[in-house]
Amino acid sequence: MTIGLPQFLVVSGALLALGLYAIVTRKNAVAMLMGVELVLNAGLLNLVAFSRYGGGLDGQVFALFGIVLAAAEAVVALAIVLQVFRAQRSVDAAKASQLKE
């Protein structure tokens, strides 16, 4: 069995599904963040895969930017989570509702 585009896409779809599942089901903000990372990486995997099978180098460049961006995003998100934890001794996203109307 040759590894072709469909295999990449299946892996990417699985990652997306796993990520979404994590976001929706987990209460822990860190876990949710990890879910977001999975979804993001599913997208990046698709970009690289489509670039390798048919496109130019654009997709790979875009994926590299995406990885850098993801790192920054993770830093910011973790800092927020840390602050939330400091404020209420918990990282439960459902409890961070003081700003709700």
Partner 1 sequence: MHEAAPVLQDFPLLFLVPLLPLIGAVWNGLAGSAIQRRFGRAAIHVPAVLLPAGSFAISLWAFLALAGQPHGTALYNHLWTWLPVGTLQADAAFLMDRLSGVMALTVAFVGTLIHVYSIGYMRDDPHYWRFFSYLNLFMFAMLTLVLGDNFLLMFVGWEGVGLCSYLLIAFWWRDREKAAAGMKAFVVNRIGDFGFILGVFLLFWGLMTTPASRPVAAAHGGKAAAAQHEEGGAGTCSATGGTSVTFRCVEQLLQDPVKRDRLVNHDIAGVGLITLVCLLLFVGATGKSAQIPLYVWLPDAMAGPTPVSALIHAATMVTAGVYMVARTHFLYTLSPVAMTVVATVGALTALFAATIGLFQYDIKKVLAYSTVSQLGFMFLAVGVGAYWVGIFHLMTHAFFKACLFLGSGSVILGCHHEQDMRKMGGLRKLMPITAVTYFLATAAIAGFPFFSGFFSKDEILWKAFDSGNILLPGGGMILWAIAAVAALGTSFYMFRSYYMTFSGEYRGAAGGAGGPALQAAGTDPAHGPHDAHGPHDAPGALDAPGALDAPGSNVGRGPLTPPPDAPGSLDAHGPHDAPGSLDALGSNVGRGPLTPPPDAPGGHGHAHVPHESPWSMTGVLAALGFLAVAGGYVGLPHLWHLPNAFEAWMEPVFAGTAERVTSAGFGHGVEWGLMGFSIVIAFGGFFAARWLYKDAANPVPARLLASGSRLVQGVHRVVFHKYYVDEAYDATFVKGSLGLSRALAFWDTRVVDGLVNLAGTIGCAFSFLQGAIDRVFVDGMVELVGRAVQDAGARIRRIQTGRIQAYVQGLALGALALVALAYLLAW
Residues of the shown chain interacting with partner 1 in the complex, contacts defined by CB under 8 A: 20, 23-25, 32, 93-94, 97, 99-100
Q: Residue 55 is which amino acid?
A: G
Shorter beta-carbon distance to partner 1: residue 20 or 70: 20
Cα 13 to Cα 19: distance, rounded to the nearest angstrom? 10
Shorter beta-carbon distance to partner 1: residue 37 or 51: 37
In angstroms, give the least distance from the CB of 92 to partner 1.
11
Between the CA of residue 12 and those of 5, 27, 81, what are the distances in Å? 11, 24, 27
Shorter beta-carbon distance to partner 1: residue 21 or 53: 21
Backbone angles phi, psi at 53, to 5 degrees: -105, 70
